[in-house]
Amino acid sequence: MACDNTVVFDLGGVLIHWDPRMLYRNLLPDEEAVDEFLRTICTPEWNAKQDAGRPFRQGIAELVSRFPDQESLITAWYDRFTETIRPMEDSIQILQELRQRNTPLYALSNWGAETFEVARDRFSFLGWFDGLVISSHVGLIKPDVRIFQFLLEEHRLDAPQVVFVDDHLPNIETAQTLGFQTIHFTGAAKLREDLVERGLLSQDRPPD
């Protein structure tokens, strides 16, 4: 049975593959060195501060002051950010089909302000959304319940009518506490099945 739900997409890991290893494999001698650098210098915890709103220039300066011998590698995180991202074409095809069906589409993503602008310039599909909530723009970060509440209030959405798609289970769990419908993203094929089941996509794909 068809329905008129809104769909809210996470970006990284759902529509955009992001992996800093793709960059640092070109800059460091082996996988062990890449892992060491990402574990001890440009760590997930450090990057999360940019996602929460800290300017990249500040985050980079802080790291360079602690690790001056690693300056070129640290600055590459931002300067060569395009080498860490690539489009997830099968998921983007699903987004396009939803758009063709006039489904209201929103994005809710943890992303640093400056690097999000790099992605926006690179990927035209980021212009397809009716609205975007980017963590660094609002100073809140998933899975904090407040960023989900901000999405609902800012765009006047009703949680039970929203299908939220994310690859990170803690984000799914927070959304569920607010009454969202949720899809834990594990791949485009399963996402398509789930959306067909909800009546948001037809069984047959449209021609390219």
Q: 36-47, pLDDT tens digit by residue?
A: 999 999 999 999
Tokens found for residue 138: 């609002």
- Cβ atoms of residues 107 and 8 within 8 Å: yes
Judge if 49 and 146 occupy the same domain.
no
Tokens found for residue 74: 């640290």
Mean per-residue pLDDT, 17-30: 98
CATH code of the domain containing 98:
3.40.50.1000
Give me the chain's average pLDDT, please. Answer: 95
- Using the 3D structure, point to which of 84, 102, 136 is the last residue of a domain: 84
Mean per-residue pLDDT, 76-101: 98
Boundaries of domain holding 140: 6-17+87-197
Judge if 133 and 118 occupy the same domain.
yes
Judge if 25 and 78 occupy the same domain.
yes
Predicted confidence at residue 205, as pLDDT, reads: 60
Q: Is the pLDDT of residue 4 over 90?
A: no
Q: At what angle do helices 145-154 and 169-177 cross, to 10 degrees?
A: 60
